[in-house]
Amino acid sequence: MSRRCLQFGEAQPEATATCSISTNRANNIISSTSLATNSETESLSSSHLDLSAKSRTRQLVNLSQLAMNMIPQCYGKSSLTVLKPSGIGLHLNSIVNATSMGQGGTASMKVAQAIKSTSTTSCQSTENIDNCSDAFEKVSTPQGALEQKVCTIAGSASESLFAEESVEFHMTPNTKRKFSSEDGDRNDILSSGPLMCFYRKKLSNNTDGDCCKRCNCKKTKCLKLYCDCFAAGIYCAEPCSCQGCFNRPEYEETVLETRKQIESRNPLAFAPKIVQPVTEFPLSNREDGNRKTPSSARHKRGCNCKRSMCLKKYCECYQANVGCSIGCRCEGCKNVYGKKEDYCVTKEMVNRSGEISESRVAAKPKKEIFHSELCDPYHLTPLTPSVQCSDHGKNASISRLLSRRCLPSPESDLTVLSYAKSPRSPRTSDSNDILLETSKGNLDIDSFCEGISYNNAVALADEFHCTPLPNHPSVIIGSPSSKARELTSLSRVQLDPRSRSLTPGGSLHWHSSPIMPMSPLNDNKKLQGLDSADGGLYDILEDDMPEILKDTSMPIKPVKAGSPNGKRVSPPHNLHQLGSSSSGPLRSGRKFILKAVPSFPPLTPCIDAKGSSNQSRNNFQENRSND
């Protein structure tokens, strides 16, 4: 144990320093995060040393890195710890319940290893930690901080519910008490804690303290997207009034299977629906502090309201407190958060001023609109003409760049990975760096980068971020959508603040979360920090290149997603050729990489699910571990 502590101490000393987390605690976090048994955890110590641990664990690292990047800072004093890597839209419960599971839970070595290695490879960024702690310093009380922290995760986990009103937390005094206590009944915390409340709030939209209303499914067994719990990636819990519910830890396999099935239809079915674009302004514009405009958040798929005029909660946009956008097919939109038509007008104006001719989009037939939008990274920042990359006459090319090779993958935040196939080349172990690598012949990324400031780069990067992350092997493997998901898991944009250009080695953030505790400015630091860990994340992914990425013959196909307007992330054009040469892509070392973002933290039945007593859970776990 002490050894692990030391290791973690090494891995993230800053975490302990900045966030008042003892290495012990950090270690606990890891343990609980991995849901490992003591013995498992013990063995992890050694695995931890073996950073060459391969394969899928590397995918997990993405997520687990998130966890490590966030947890220590975010959950410092609380007993709330996080994550076990999982699939897209993992059960939110797992965030919360990880701690309790840590003592008796079962976890695959994979997961544990992943987390372990993550802790050693990705948590070396002092700045990263600092960023987060900085962010939390803004919160006056520890409890408040916790709230925000929880929201941060929860936000990304549950469709950016706070899009418009940043953090609107719903925490009962009791909950607060529990949360400030280090040794309270965690199950209590979890079942009544902020995370749950936050979610319940979504469901109930109550402001009177009743935050416990949840689903009420009768026929779907809570295994369809009709079920809000299921859709949000959490298990049903006590407050639910569902009947014949299968969305419970006991039925984990069923749940996973169902999710897999649904994801096979629509890989991004569990991705956040609300896109909170990060609107990065060039430095000159940043001073207004208006980097993020909540009002610019949009529903990815858009609503389809006919009668409610987007003024009732029938409307998903309205319900999420976001305005309607061009992607909506609503009629008579009067969305108080932003009418569709206003959106169009604004957008057009923005486009005009930005020389990005997109006004025609509005006149296009729907399909084209979608395509256009999907290809337009700006699309997601409708009300904030932010990403008007500083010119130098490059806008046109940039916009062209961004609009060509995109994938009309509606639901995805991420989608647009034009999964450029690059033959797995020697040097292109960078192939992890994936996708957006480009050869100079096709895209002079250097000049491209020169044309945009770092901030613009960040903005672009951010545009690429809002994506759920695939990750849970158990979900990924064998899933029809697994490839796409793997891709998404690997996608990232990596920016090197020093060179102010796109480079390999980067960090992970949850950009799908509206409340990311990381500022772009801090990104700077963070990235620097991560640079030192270059061998970390970057390398980590190296060996786990999904076949799809290795397969050069693979045609570029958009991930099929059921909805017409997902957030698009538009990689530079000609992506299909980008990786085609091992020597081509960004030889200069600048890489243009999509960065995946987990829609929410990992799955695994953790929460005190409805009707599942500790006993039953323990039995369940016991059975699993026996398996």
Instruction: Write out the binding residues for DNA, residues 309-338 only, by CB under 7 A.
Output: 309, 312-316, 319
The reply to whether 557 sits near DNA by the rule CB under 7 A is no
Which residues, in sequence order, are bridge partners of residue 229? Answer: none
Report the candidate in 93, 213, 70 with the shortest Cα–Cα distance to residue 146: 70
Cβ-based nearer residue to DNA, 264 or 519: 264
- Report yes or no: 552 and 423 within 8 Å, Cβ to Cβ: yes
The reply to whether 369 sits near DNA by the rule CB under 7 A is no
- Report yes or no: 497 and 503 within 8 Å, Cβ to Cβ: no
Cβ-based nearer residue to DNA, 269 or 278: 269
Report the candidate in 22, 8, 4 with the shortest Cα–Cα distance to residue 76: 22
- Which one of the spans 66-74, 90-98, 262-270, 605-613 is the region binding DNA (CB under 7 A)? 262-270
- Which one of the spans 2-10, 186-194, 219-227, 442-450 is the region binding DNA (CB under 7 A)? 219-227
Pick one of 22, 204, 285, 429: the residue that binds DNA (CB under 7 A).
Answer: 204
The reply to whether 345 sits near DNA by the rule CB under 7 A is no
Q: DSSP letter at 274?
A: E
The reply to whether 216 sits near DNA by the rule CB under 7 A is yes
Pick one of 51, 109, 139, 225: the residue that binds DNA (CB under 7 A).
Answer: 225
The reply to whether 32 sits near DNA by the rule CB under 7 A is no
The reply to whether 231 sits near DNA by the rule CB under 7 A is yes
Cβ-based nearer residue to DNA, 305 or 597: 305
Cβ-based nearer residue to DNA, 104 or 562: 562
Cβ-based nearer residue to DNA, 54 or 313: 313
Instruction: Write out the binding residues for DNA, residues 163-192 only, by CB under 7 A.
Output: none
Sign of the C-alpha dihedral computed for residues 114, 120, 122 and 127 taken in this order: positive
DSSP conformation letters of 437-482: --BTTT--HHHHHHTS-HHHHHHHHHHTT-------HHHHTT-TTH
- Report yes or no: 418 and 554 within 8 Å, Cβ to Cβ: no
- Which one of the spans 32-40, 160-168, 197-205, 574-582 is the region binding DNA (CB under 7 A)? 197-205
Q: How far is the CB of 40 from DNA (least distance, A)?
A: 34
Q: At a CB cut-off of 8 Å and minimum separation 6, what does 413 contact?
A: 268, 271, 272, 275, 300, 465, 466, 467, 468, 512, 566, 567, 569, 597, 599
Q: 55-68 burial, b if ≥16 CB within 10 A, otherwise e? A: ebbbbbbbbbbbbb
The reply to whether 228 sits near DNA by the rule CB under 7 A is yes
| Cα–Cα distances in angstroms (integers) from residue 621 to residues 59, 108, 151, 252, in the given order | 24, 12, 28, 11
Q: DSSP letter at 498?
A: T
- Report yes or no: 604 and 477 within 8 Å, Cβ to Cβ: no
Pick one of 203, 268, 515, 575: the residue that binds DNA (CB under 7 A).
Answer: 203
CA dist 190 and 94 (Å) reads 10
Cβ-based nearer residue to DNA, 228 or 608: 228
Cβ-based nearer residue to DNA, 217 or 443: 217
- Report yes or no: 496 and 454 within 8 Å, Cβ to Cβ: no
Report the candidate in 554, 266, 513, 542 with the shortest Cα–Cα distance to residue 428: 542
Count of CA atoms in the C-beta half-sphere (13 A) of 349: 9
The reply to whether 308 sits near DNA by the rule CB under 7 A is yes
The reply to whether 262 sits near DNA by the rule CB under 7 A is yes
Q: What does the CA dihedral 256, 257, 258, 261 come to, rounded to 10 degrees?
A: 120
Pick one of 24, 103, 224, 554: the residue that binds DNA (CB under 7 A).
Answer: 224
- Report yes or no: 88 and 486 within 8 Å, Cβ to Cβ: no
Which residues, in sequence order, are bridge partners of residue 501? Answer: 496
CA dist 555 and 110 (Å) reads 31
- Report yes or no: 286 and 455 within 8 Å, Cβ to Cβ: yes
Instruction: Write out the binding residues for DNA, residues 437-496 only, by CB under 7 A.
Output: none
The reply to whether 603 sits near DNA by the rule CB under 7 A is no
Pick one of 68, 171, 303, 350: the residue that binds DNA (CB under 7 A).
Answer: 303
Cβ-based nearer residue to DNA, 245 or 537: 245
Q: How far is the CB of 303 from DNA (least distance, A)?
A: 3
CA dist 550 and 12 (Å) reads 33
Q: How far is the CB of 202 from DNA (least distance, A)?
A: 8
The reply to whether 364 sits near DNA by the rule CB under 7 A is no
Q: What does the CA dihedral 510, 511, 514, 518 come to, rounded to 10 degrees?
A: 70
Cβ-based nearer residue to DNA, 374 or 436: 374
CA dist 548 and 537 (Å) reads 20
CA dist 23 and 585 (Å) reads 41
User: Residue 56 is encoded by which pair of tokens?
Assistant: 């899928």
The DSSP element (H or E) to which 501 belongs, if any, is strand 501-502
Pick one of 135, 215, 374, 541: the residue that binds DNA (CB under 7 A).
Answer: 215
Q: How far is the CB of 86 from DNA (least distance, A)?
A: 19
Pick one of 3, 177, 218, 557: the residue that binds DNA (CB under 7 A).
Answer: 218
- Which one of the spans 85-93, 208-216, 480-488, 518-526 is the region binding DNA (CB under 7 A)? 208-216
Number of residues that bind DNA (CB under 7 A): 37
Q: How far is the CB of 36 from DNA (least distance, A)?
A: 33
The reply to whether 274 sits near DNA by the rule CB under 7 A is no
Q: How far is the CB of 267 from DNA (least distance, A)?
A: 12
Instruction: Write out the binding residues for DNA, residues 109-148 only, by CB under 7 A.
Output: none
Q: What are phi and psi of 298, to 5 degrees?
A: -145, 155
Pick one of 219, 360, 427, 557: the residue that binds DNA (CB under 7 A).
Answer: 219
Cβ-based nearer residue to DNA, 225 or 362: 225
Cβ-based nearer residue to DNA, 55 or 304: 304
Q: What is the distance of C-alpha 374 from the center of its chain?
A: 19
Cβ-based nearer residue to DNA, 218 or 498: 218
- Which one of the spans 263-271, 279-287, 377-385, 440-448 is the region binding DNA (CB under 7 A)? 263-271
CA dist 414 and 409 (Å) reads 8
Cβ-based nearer residue to DNA, 225 or 556: 225
The reply to whether 367 sits near DNA by the rule CB under 7 A is yes
Q: How far is the CB of 225 from DNA (least distance, A)?
A: 3
Residue listed under structure tokens 């390999």? 504
Interface residues toward DNA, by CB under 7 A: 203-205, 214-220, 224-228, 231, 262, 265-266, 269, 273, 301, 303-309, 312-316, 319, 367, 563
